[in-house]
Structure 1
Amino acid sequence: MVPVNGPALPVLARLPRAGQWAVLLAVSAVVAGLLEAAALPAALLLGPMVAGILVGVVGGTIRVPRQPYLGAQAIIGCLIAGAITPGILVSFLQDWPLFLAIVLSTLAASSLLGWLMSRWQVLPGTTGVWGSSPGAATAMVLMAEAFGADARLVAFMQYLRVVCVATAASLIARFWVDTGDAGPAAIDWFPPIDAGPFAATLALAGLGAVAGRRLRIPAGSMLVPLVVGSVLHALGLIEIELPEWLLALAYALIGWNIGLGFTRSVLVHAARALPQILASIAALIAFCSGLAYVLVRTLGVDPLTAYLATSPGGMDSIAIIAASSDVDLPFVMALQTVRFFLVVLLGPAVARFIARRSPHLS
């Protein structure tokens, strides 16, 4: 009960936990529905994240329980593993030196942008380095949190870039190819489930999450199912089956965990840094467009394929755009996948390298 003469509690803090969860669920459904209707990428994650921010800023005290959150990480790892196919591996092996050169160049450029943002104190510590990583948005947020960076600001940078990149890619794809009739497919929330693959996927997620925690690997609950599942799926030893309702739950848990950590001060900081963040995103998109031109000139790849392949981030949204366009889909996904794995594998080392040689980031 609030004392008569005491300071008033924030709005949501006056509600019981059940009431706060009800508000969070309702706002999440509305925001995610609006984003989905607008055909924005990652709507099922961004909606709960925005709802979590709103609830957190007005005084919400609820938090996502640890075990369900780790389970959500494992499901995301399985989701990415399911995208690794033999066709992608074949495409990579055909041009692997150029692929690696392009990916490493992109990583170097993004790290430089992140370092400059941190050096100019736009963002604290190594937050700018993690937030500027070119791809693997959800993975970068989870790993940044594990390595002590401000996951809230990293999420703000990463998902803002995902929206910007996807919007730019959609506009360019429409410039080359008429995709007006290829709208987003209706979501089948409860499709028929093949019990065997579904059970194998859950086992991979559960055992991988436990192994990642026991081995004390940063973001191991996601990385172990991702790596093990990728190998097994590429070799045809496992079929990843994840119904939409389970993915939506995983996205929601991760979005809520990020959003509920926001406070008014964090939101104000993010708003103040918005012009610099948008400038860094534009610079990275321009740099990757230059790499696309290199692909066109050296391999004779068509411009749209090259642009989609080098777009910095949002692998799932780029896959959707590529699938509805007349492009070399295996080539696009091969380069996107190689970058994803290198970003995940090298991201922590790059952040630590920059931090050790930059006293102002300590």
Structure 2
Amino acid sequence: MAVVRRWSLLAVAVAAACAAFWLVRLPTPFLFGGLVGALVYALARPARPLSLPGRWFTGGQAVVGAVVGAAVDWRSLVALGPTWVLVVAVSCFSLAVSVLAGQLLVRHRVSRATATFSSIAGGAAGLTALAEELGADARVVAVLQYLRLLVVLVTMPVVVFLVFGGEDSGATTALEAVTGHTLLRDFSYAAAAIGLGLLAGTWLRLPSGAILGPLLVAALLALAPWWSGAEVPPVVVAVGYLCIGVQVGLKFTVASLRAIGAMVPTALLTIALTLLACAGLAAVLTLATDQTPLEAYLATTPGGIYAVMGTAAATGSDVTFVAAAQVLRLLIVLASAPFVAAYLKRFSDASDDDDDQRLAG
């Protein structure tokens, strides 16, 4: 009975947080709501800890992979033509800049892996899901990744409206972007992508197979006529994101939260450096292609992919180019993350490999 009461309290806290974030139109409200709700429970009931079964978290990773795979538009990627080489180069450079800027976080006695994956531009949900597997502290990665996303979303309309003179974006959240599709098609697509993707990740021995397997399968299934334009249903997205958010949130302690709070000023500095670097890359992209400054800016914005695409559509920008550039960078982030983690594990010194002592407990 006591266990039921604990899970009920957790459910209430998570539901309240998710509802609040949904009302304020925060992207991925169920992931962040699950994290905050579970965090509140963990801090309020430290003597009564809870933990989700490992399979639930694996399922959440698979959902994230399927969502990213469903976002891959092969026609958009092909439409880049010769420009794709430049877009890849710009994406890789923006990632390198964000990673280098993120190393400032090491001064807060976090591991180099935690500093790296907390600061990588793009793929907040995917990196949060992969954090522990990559040898990083999932609590720090989740909070700082979503801090970056918040800054991007707050500054984007200011830049679009004041600098480029754009109109009201009418951007949608990730879940709102997947409504209006045939339920049978979407549910069968999600089931096939997740089920076959998990099997593929195991059989092919993919690094971080729980997320990369479904991502690969979802992208390939979209080529089939029956599943053309299919998306992962909102309810599946919500459950998957909840599993990730709750699992991470339940691991917080008062000490870890205090330590992360101390990192925020440094994190904001790294985010500012990343935004400035991406703005510089947008200028390069404008000079090297026939894209407008606004289109180049939206293509290089470090995160907020769904809001970016909504803004591109509302301002009459080249949505195909913007979407292709954003998705390509997201794929690069998730595909390279396991190899970056392996590099850090192999070449970092002993102090970098240690877990953050201030976050222990």
Root mean square deviation, CA, Å:
2.5
Alpha-carbon separation, structure 2, partners of 1:190 and 1:115: 39
One of 127, 130, 148 as aligned partner of 2:135: 148
Post-superposition offset of 1:178: 2.2
Post-superposition offset of 1:196: 4.3
* Higher Rg: 1
**Does the aligned pair in 1 maintain the 2:102–2:267 contact within 8 Å?**
no
**Does the aligned pair in 2 maintain the 1:45–1:254 contact within 8 Å?**
yes
Q: Answer yes or no: is 1:70 the counterpart of 2:58.
A: yes
Please give the residue correspondences for 1:220-259 in structure 2 after superposition, counting only pairs within 5 Å: 220-234=209-223, 236=225, 238-239=227-228, 240-259=230-249
Residues 13-48 of structure 1, C-alpha deviations (whole Å, 9 max, x = no match) = xx8222222222222222222222222222222111
- Report the equivalent of 1:83: 71
Distance 1:144 1:296, change over 3 A: same
One of 331, 341, 346 as aligned partner of 2:336: 346
Identical columns (%) = 30
Residues 303-349 of structure 1, C-alpha deviations (whole Å, 9 max, x = no match) = 22111110112323322333333211111111111111111122232
- Report the equivalent of 1:285: 275
**Does the aligned pair in 2 maintain the 1:115–1:126 contact within 8 Å?**
no
Which stretches of structure 1, 4 residues or more, deviate above 6 A after TM superposition?
188-192
**Does the aligned pair in 1 maintain the 2:207–2:338 contact within 8 Å?**
no
Post-superposition offset of 1:146: 0.6
- Report the equivalent of 1:212: 201
- Report the equivalent of 1:311: 301
- Report the equivalent of 2:291: 301
Judge which range, 17-26 or 156-165, deviates more: 17-26
Q: How many pairs are equivalent? A: 346
Post-superposition offset of 1:263: 1.2
Post-superposition offset of 1:179: 0.8
Alpha-carbon separation, structure 1, partners of 2:142 and 2:184: 35
- Report the equivalent of 1:320: 310
Residue aligned with 2:222, SS: helix
- Report the equivalent of 2:22: 36
Alpha-carbon separation, structure 1, partners of 2:298 and 2:21: 22
Residues 106-145 of structure 1, C-alpha deviations (whole Å, 9 max, x = no match) = 1211221233422x24523420011111111122122221
Post-superposition offset of 1:193: 4.3
Q: Answer yes or no: is 1:201 the counterpart of 2:190.
A: yes
Structure 2: gaps spanning 5 or more residues: 354-361
Q: Answer yes or no: is 1:55 the counterpart of 2:44.
A: no
Alpha-carbon separation, structure 2, partners of 1:37 and 1:273: 28
Residue aligned with 2:258, SS: helix
Structure 1: gaps spanning 5 or more residues: 1-14
- Report the equivalent of 1:163: 150
Scaled by the length of structure 1, what TM-score is found? 0.87
Distance 1:126 1:86, change over 3 A: closer
Post-superposition offset of 1:96: 1.5
Alpha-carbon separation, structure 2, partners of 1:142 and 1:300: 37
